[in-house]
């Protein structure tokens, strides 16, 4: 598959708190970073837009216990909310902050953000999406990308899930594919 000027890369939530040692680690979440760095290199070489999304929670976010189900994580302006230091984001990366409203959960990178607007301004039609976690923010971002009529690719080798209930990751991938996303890996892209 050839990347063209209508293609963009979206890296979902590769933040310290979602990696081993963080407040809400995805098991082996850091293992996808080499593949993501290779995708970044390929998109950068062709001058294509690269987006990095991040949870940017207030201290009392609705997703945090006791109001929600998660421990506090990715609190804005903290070390845990920073991108993983091994992720080689380019200087011109477009950062999309999400889930910043204390009373609103937001798993999708499209929810209450400027992502769709910026993509349309750039003439993007094809999205290549990977990151953390497959069964939450990656899945919801991909499903929203499909609802917005983007040709959508799930980066299977650059995504990791939580799998809180055995089969969650497999079920998320099945749902994304059934709704129209295509699974690809680095070997599928020129």
CA distance 153 to 88: 21
Contacts of 50 (CB under 8 A, 6+ apart): 8, 9, 11, 40, 43, 44, 89, 90, 92, 93, 94
CB 157 within 8 A of CB 35: yes
Catalytic annotation, pick one of 55, 74, 135, 137? 137
Indicate left, alpha or beta for 21 from its phi (over 0: left) and psi (-120 to 50: alpha).
left
Asked about 13 being catalytic, the answer comes back as yes
Q: Is 187 helix (H, G, I), strand (E, B) or coil?
A: helix
Asked about 19 being catalytic, the answer comes back as no
Catalytic annotation, pick one of 13, 30, 135, 144? 13
Catalytic annotation, pick one of 55, 98, 144, 160? 98
CA distance 47 to 131: 21
CA distance 162 to 9: 22
Asked about 188 being catalytic, the answer comes back as no
CA distance 29 to 7: 25
Catalogue the active-site residues: 13, 98, 137
């Amino acid at each position: 598959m050839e990347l063209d000027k209508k293609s963009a890369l979206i890296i979902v939530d590769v933040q310290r708190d979602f990696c081993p040692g963080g407040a809400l680690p995805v098991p082996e979440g850091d293992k996808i970073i080499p593949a993501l760095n290779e995708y970044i290199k390929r998109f950068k070489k062709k001058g294509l837009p690269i987006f990095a999304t991040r949870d940017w929670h207030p201290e009392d976010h609705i997703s945090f216990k006791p109001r929600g189900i998660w421990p506090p994580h990715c609190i804005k302006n903290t070390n845990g909310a920073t991108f993983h230091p091994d992720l080689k984001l380019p200087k011109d990366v477009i950062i999309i902050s999400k889930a910043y409203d204390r009373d609103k959960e937001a798993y999708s990178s499209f929810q209450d953000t400027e992502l769709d607007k910026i993509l349309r301004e750039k003439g993007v039609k094809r999205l290549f999406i990977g990151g953390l976690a497959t069964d939450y923010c990656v899945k919801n971002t991909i499903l929203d990308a499909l609802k917005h009529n983007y040709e959508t690719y799930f980066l299977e080798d650059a995504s990791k899930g939580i799998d809180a209930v055995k089969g969650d990751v497999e079920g998320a991938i099945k749902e994304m594919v059934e709704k129209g996303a295509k699974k690809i890996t680095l070997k599928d892209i020129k």
